[in-house]
Amino acid sequence: MSDPAPNVAPPPGHPRFPLLDGVRALAALSIVLLHVGDGTGFARTNALGGFTARMDAGVALFFVLSGFLLYRPFVASRLEARPAPSAGRYLRRRLLRIVPAFWVAMLVMGALGWISVLNGDWWRYFGFVQNLSVETVLGGIRPAWSLCVEMSFYLVLPVWALGIARLLRGRPRRTQVRAEAIALGALALASLALRAAFFDADHGSLWLVTLPAFLDWFAVGMGLALASVALAGREPRAAVLRRPWLAWAGAAACYALVSLVVPLPRGLVAAGTVEAHLAQHVLYIAVGALVALPGIFGIRPDAEPASRAIARFLAHPVMAWLGLVSYGIFLWHQPLLDQLLIQDLSGRAPVLPFVTVLVVTTAGAVAIAAVSYYLVERPFLALKDPRRRETPAAAPARTIAG
């Protein structure tokens, strides 16, 4: 089997989850659909707009994947009594994964006049703190506020891993699993409480676009990492794990609830009440976790036809490749969309129909993302593990497939 691409290769000695490449592609494409639906007015005027308006559930899916993939090596090393991953090496991998493509994208789009980042606030954009100011939170590459949240999580994760390791050191494996599951649950509840406390339907709050307000989404991914290690080599009892189609059916049900039942505005604006806001937030994480489950726990070859269909879909070469270049899709789609939807001097709404804009934006973003991956991301990503071939003590990376 050939080595995985550098941006999806796991840390040395840890398994890879190839079906999550397809899940990552779904997350990126959902964000494109969200912004096209909002930008063209489709989300507000079409009967199906209630579904496109809730595609920001893709952000929850991204955060679940980050929590799972980044934390699993830490928890696996602890529960399997192996040396913990190097914090320095972990941070280097994260910086090489995120920073070069982001900076290049901003410089190119800034030079083209697509975005405004080469100004007095440049340090906020290039320093991943644009979400900490009202003036810049939706400036530059607008969806990058969520990237700032991700970067904050990257910095906090090793601290959590070190703290929980010291707290649980020497305890039986089962005790460690239970204690950390409780700790992650408490972290998620605290995050929800903070979100409720700072909710303001009229004026908004920057607290709601910072890491503390999203720790519950990351905690769910970390909890899945804990479960993945704890259940490794065992037949799971939960039906949703043994029959992956049930997970996606549950995700569809939660998505229908948040799209059709929860009273939410059709647009990128806050919910009218704290109850609707929290319902939206919790249902999004349910969608994210349930969509990711088949890629995390695998799909057996003898599974039901519906489950095997999920495996074939996620493992399809097109989905895998879209997952490979998904970071570029995320970075480039919104500025490209904005160029398509520039209003004329009379201020009339864009005349391009939803489907046309969706096809052009998606195709253009994928094309630019491919260039970004092969010319910018891949060369830097090859530096993630410079001693990978020089570490015979590390176990070869296993692949957990469908």
> What is the per-residue DSSP string for 312-340?
HHHHSHHHHHHHHTHHHHHHHHHHHHHHH
| CB atoms near residue 207 (< 10 Å) | 15
For tokens 């607290």, the residue is 207
Predicted local distance difference test score (pLDDT) of residue 312: 96
Q: Is residue 97 part of a domain?
A: yes
| CB atoms near residue 219 (< 10 Å) | 25
Predicted local distance difference test score (pLDDT) of residue 332: 98
Predicted local distance difference test score (pLDDT) of residue 236: 75
Structural domain count, the chain: 1
Q: How confident is the model at residue 384 (pLDDT cuts 50, 70, 90)?
A: confident
Q: Is residue 7 part of a domain?
A: no
Domain that holds residue 199: 19-390
Predicted local distance difference test score (pLDDT) of residue 200: 87
Q: Is residue 2 part of a domain?
A: no
Burial letters 15-49, b for 16+ CB under 10 A, else e: bbbbbbbbbbbbbbbbbbbbbbbbbbbbbeebeeb
Q: Considering the chain, what is the average pLDDT of its residues?
A: 90
Q: Is residue 3 part of a domain?
A: no
Tell me the pLDDT tens digit for each residue of 233-248: 787 777 788 899 999 9
Q: Is residue 196 part of a domain?
A: yes
Q: With 80 as the cut, is the pLDDT of residue 81 above it?
A: yes
Q: Is residue 398 part of a domain?
A: no
Tell me the pLDDT tens digit for each residue of 137-191: 999 999 999 999 999 999 999 999 999 999 998 899 999 999 999 999 999 999 9
Q: With 80 as the cut, is the pLDDT of residue 10 above it?
A: no
Task: Give the whole-angstrom CA distance, residue 282 versus residue 293.
Answer: 17
Q: How confident is the model at residue 77 (pLDDT cuts 50, 70, 90)?
A: very high
Predicted local distance difference test score (pLDDT) of residue 345: 40
DSSP string, 29-44: HHHHHHHHHHHHSHHH
Q: Is residue 115 part of a domain?
A: yes
Q: How confident is the model at residue 58 (pLDDT cuts 50, 70, 90)?
A: very high
For range 35-62, the mean pLDDT: 94
Task: Give the whole-angstrom CA distance, residue 232 versus residue 73.
Answer: 13
Predicted local distance difference test score (pLDDT) of residue 399: 52
**Greatest mean pLDDT among 201-215, 220-234, 332-346:** 220-234
Please enumerate in sequence order all residues whose Cβ is within 8 A of that of 303, keeping only pairs 6 or more positions apart, or say none.
243, 244, 311
Q: With 90 as the cut, is the pLDDT of residue 123 above it?
A: yes
Q: Is residue 238 part of a domain?
A: yes
